[in-house]
Amino acid sequence: MNEEELISGCLKHERSSQRALYEIYFSKMMHVCIRYAKNQQEAKSILLDGFKNIFNGFRIFTDVNAKRKKDSPPVSLEEWIKKEIVASAIRHMHNNKREYFVSSTVSVRDSEKQSSFEISDEKIIHSVDKQIIIKALQQLTPSYRAIYNLHEVEQYSHLEISKLLDISEYASKDSLSKAKFNLRKNLTQMVPK
């Protein structure tokens, strides 16, 4: 089944097309969900909710491409699905706000920033197994984890994050700084020296 047939079938709510789409994108989107979730079970819940919304709102995908300007490239199916899965993770956060938006007890002092955590993010990420990075991310508070993912991985601006999470831009920037500090701390504790 090619992509056009897949899209056409999903627009008609055909189970075989929906199943094929799910199977094609399951693995990639599960990796996205794991970055936002505290564990595998929560990631599966986010993924299933995301695919439910994708299947119920598939017309949105065709509308987005129909309304685009003639000189702009079309939104790919994978790009749209990923955006919907990220939206599902954010909805999950909003539905569990009491658990997710906990203020941190960690403060990052300038001397701490420059002490044992001088190693750069890029150097850490390239020298560590991806499973260890995921584990370290999952140890962050949910709000830090979300802000880190939205900014560093999805490339959202602090303004976009502030609107999505209903927080100030300053809170987004501050949380990102704390998330990076805590991620470095988690990684240095997990990686043998």
Q: Which residues of 74-101 are buried (b: 16+ CB within 10 A; e: fewer)?
A: eeebeebbbbbbbebbbebbeeeeeebb
- Amino acid 120: pLDDT: 55
- Amino acid 68: pLDDT: 81
Three-class DSSP category at 129: coil
What domains, with CATH codes, occur in the chain? Answer: 3-98 (1.10.1740), 110-190 (1.10.10.10)
- Amino acid 86: pLDDT: 95
Q: Give pLDDT tens digits for 67-115.
A: 887 788 888 999 999 999 999 999 998 887 655 444 443 444 443 444 4
- Amino acid 72: pLDDT: 84
Q: Let me know the angle formed at the C-alpha of 144 by 168 and 156, rounded to the nearest 5 degrees.
A: 60
- Amino acid 126: pLDDT: 61
Residues of the chain with pLDDT under 70: 97-128, 192-193
d(CA 176, CA 145): 9
pTM over 0.95: no
d(CA 6, CA 11): 9
